[in-house]
Structure 1
Amino acid sequence: MIRICKAHTKAHLEGILDLQSKNLREVLSDEVQKEQGFLTVRHDCKVLEEMNNRLNHIIALDGEEVVGYALSMTPDLKDRIPVLEEMFERINNLEYKGSNLGKSNYYIMGQICIAEKYRGTGLFYALYNEHRKYYSPYFDHFITEVSASNQRSLRAHEKTGFKTILNYYDQTDSWYLILWDWNDQNETS
């Protein structure tokens, strides 16, 4: 039976890193990337733990095995992952609903991944719904970015309720900056 919960232990973090290592863009064929999606950022245990200490990651467990995760990242940790600096700069210079997005009450979805065997089972949405359950009382919205090459992920995020607020290029890729506004009554989940 699959259980969705907050990450609390070192074993949970190690399970996240293990699943992450199997789904990084650099280890997947072009065909698998196109069909199944991919991850861009490799986290180290120290940063992953620091992120989790601020705002617990949400994980899917089959027994004790991590079979899915959706990472949480607060803006104060933006310097811990250099490849995300451009995203935070964009957020800080973007207006959303007439206000500066960087000054709004938001957090970052640091990465989402579902083990291959569990894809298409609803875990993606279950992980995001847990984020909403736990964190919507404290935050107005949830922001992330998706590579333009990762259309499977972009479609899944859109089905969840994320809206594209900016498309931009940096030195690594073309990105969709997307936001799930929990206060917008027109949003779906």
Structure 2
Amino acid sequence: MKITYSSTKTDKELVQILRLQQENLYRNVSNEEKLAEGFVTVEHSYELLKEMNDFCPHTIAIDDQGNLAGYALSMHPSFRDKIDVLKPMFQVIDPLIASEEKYMLMGQICVSKNHRKQGVFRGLYAHMKEQLEQEYITIVTEIDALNNRSMQAHKAVGFEEMARYTANGQEWVVVRMQL
């Protein structure tokens, strides 16, 4: 199956992202699936997803049938106050990142169940990196420490741990990848 990577351009693509996000939200996935396949934590509204996309387009993977195979959300640090669960992360990373360092947050990455273990995760980051490297120095994200699948996948594509912290009863691991 051929996968094409691009930046989001249409409202339909944003709606497809939200649908895939719902299918993989922490609360909508069984404990067994969380351990084996991973999960996503943050739930975005259409309005916020569009606002983030208007600032810096998200990265998507589309299969040869036109289905969304996965996404990686771009979240500029200027959105720091828009998502409550991410606010503690900024308190942790602000002292660790030089004020002049331009970075982009990978706001969330998800691969559909039908497209896992086919290189889509790696492809999403490769496209995102290509789109951002002219303007930004690093991509930063955080991962729920219980999400072993995501931890391993991020390490495999070149992310390195910056910090760990606990907020709202969850342990988070902040990672970064140089562009």
Can you list the C-alpha shifts for 1:160-185, whole angstroms capped at 9, x where unaligned? Answer: 00000101111141011000012xxx
| 2:82 corresponds to 1:80 | yes
Taking the aligned partners of 2:147 and 2:105, their CA distance within structure 1 comes to 18
What does residue range 7-156 of structure 1 map to in structure 2 within 5 Å? 7-62=8-63, 63-94=65-96, 100-156=97-153
- Equivalent position amino acid for 2:104 in 1: Y
Q: Structure 1, unaligned stretches of length 5 or more?
A: 95-99, 183-189
Aligned length: 177
- Equivalent position amino acid for 2:87 in 1: E
Tell me the percent identity. Answer: 35
Taking the aligned partners of 2:150 and 2:98, their CA distance within structure 1 comes to 23
Q: CA RMSD in A?
A: 1.1
Runs of 4+ in 1 over 3 A off after TM superposition: 100-103
Asked whether the equivalents of residues 60 and 127 of structure 1 are also in contact (C-alpha less than 8 Å), the reply is yes
Q: Secondary structure at the match of 2:80?
A: helix
Shift of 1:27: 0.7
- Equivalent position amino acid for 1:55 in 2: C
Asked whether the equivalents of residues 165 and 179 of structure 1 are also in contact (C-alpha less than 8 Å), the reply is yes
Shift of 1:113: 0.3
Asked whether the equivalents of residues 69 and 120 of structure 2 are also in contact (C-alpha less than 8 Å), the reply is no
Taking the aligned partners of 2:24 and 2:174, their CA distance within structure 1 comes to 21
Asked whether the equivalents of residues 91 and 102 of structure 1 are also in contact (C-alpha less than 8 Å), the reply is no
Q: Structure 2, unaligned stretches of length 5 or more?
A: none
Asked whether the equivalents of residues 111 and 120 of structure 2 are also in contact (C-alpha less than 8 Å), the reply is yes
Asked whether the equivalents of residues 164 and 177 of structure 1 are also in contact (C-alpha less than 8 Å), the reply is yes
Shift of 1:93: 2.1
Give the structure, 1 or 2, with the largest relative contact order (CA under 8 Å, sep 6 or more): 2
| 2:160 corresponds to 1:163 | yes
Give the 3 Å change call, closer, same or farther, for CA 152–101 of structure 1 in structure 2: farther
